[in-house]
Amino acid sequence: MELYFLGTGAGMPSKERNVTAIALTLYDERGSMWLFDCGEGTQHQMLRSPLKASRLEHLYITHLHGDHVYGLPGLLTSRSNQGGTSPLTLFGPPGLEAMLEPVLRLSGAHLSYELSIREVEEGIVFEDDQFVVHCAKLDHRIDSYGYRVVEKDKPGKLDADKVKALGIKPGPVFGRIKRGETVELPDGSVIDGKSFIGSPIPGKKIVILGDTRYCEAAVGLAVNADVLVHEATFDSSMHDLAQAYYHATAEEAAEVARKADAKSLILTHISSRYQEEQAERLLSEARAKFPAAWLAKDHWAFAVN
């Protein structure tokens, strides 16, 4: 899995940063991509990236402020023109469908695929045999959600040498042991396939938060996360302004990561006042409290190992 940052700015685009959009590529796991937020210009950013809208499977919206949703109509219609035919599910806060439906209808948009819109509430919003996605409400001026993507544990590895030592060659019996089944051998002995399989491999935990002030809900979502993506709109000298506009400082993002015992922190949603090396101030502030912090930039990728 890999996180790819299409837009890392706050409020409005700047020369360095477009507004918010983050892709989670799941090519090895399921051959698809999930997108978190879709600010204006996201489709243009995607054209300059290795990502393909046709492989988009889920699109998660954190909240309905324009810098997180104004790119939706363009991306959804462009996906058709780029050969996207597989179903696409759009998750987001109540009001998402009422906002989007008139735009698509009145513009005569043609979608060559099935679009499903699921308006979320706190709890599990998606689950299948590979992943479960939780969401919780954060502390922002309008309803804003954070998403916790949990990869389910994978089966442990088969000790093939141990199986072969019993004289069992690759074939149907070997396959049943690999699946952890109980098998009766030709000599009448019975073996438990599970005893040949190692411990389950823990799945990854990725947490992507919408706009928020510091809050315990963010800490709860981020517990033991392999990577936490948190807004860092301001530095700590602007704490009062951050509070007034329902945003977080880099230091507060680091405090969330520290309290949640996350493995790594990525700062995004950077105010346009922090251009070029000025943004490094945010990173230094975060690392003073949480050393495993990174500052996202447009078209930067982070491997989730």
User: What would the pLDDT profile of 135-184 be if each residue is shown by its tens digit?
Assistant: 999 999 999 999 999 999 988 888 888 888 888 888 888 888 888 888 88
110 annotated binding-site participant: no
Is 298 tagged catalytic?
no
65 annotated binding-site participant: yes
Confidence at residue 208, expressed as pLDDT on a 0 to 100 scale: 98
Confidence at residue 169, expressed as pLDDT on a 0 to 100 scale: 81
269 annotated binding-site participant: yes
Q: Classify residue 180 as exposed, middle or buried by CB count within 10 Å of its CB (0-12, 13-18, 19+).
A: middle
Confidence at residue 193, expressed as pLDDT on a 0 to 100 scale: 83
Q: Where do the structural domains in the chain lie, given as residue ranges?
A: 2-154+201-303, 160-196
Confidence at residue 36, expressed as pLDDT on a 0 to 100 scale: 98
Marked catalytic residue, from 28, 37, 67, 240: 67
Confidence at residue 305, expressed as pLDDT on a 0 to 100 scale: 83
Confidence at residue 117, expressed as pLDDT on a 0 to 100 scale: 97
Confidence at residue 207, expressed as pLDDT on a 0 to 100 scale: 98
Q: Classify residue 177 as exposed, middle or buried by CB count within 10 Å of its CB (0-12, 13-18, 19+).
A: buried
| CB atoms inside a 10 Å sphere around CB 175 | 13
Q: Are 88 and 57 in contact (CB under 8 A)?
A: yes
Report which secondary-structure segment, H or E, holds 286: helix 280-287
Tell me which CATH code domain 2-154+201-303 carries: 3.60.15.10
Q: Are 249 and 286 in contact (CB under 8 A)?
A: no
HEC string for 167-187: CCCCCHHHHHHHCCCEEECCC
299 annotated binding-site participant: no
The three-state secondary structure class of 44 is helix
140 annotated binding-site participant: yes
DSSP one-letter string for 230-258? EE--B-GGGHHHHHHTT--BHHHHHHHHH
63 annotated binding-site participant: yes
Q: Are 208 and 146 in contact (CB under 8 A)?
A: yes
Spans of the chain below 70 pLDDT: none
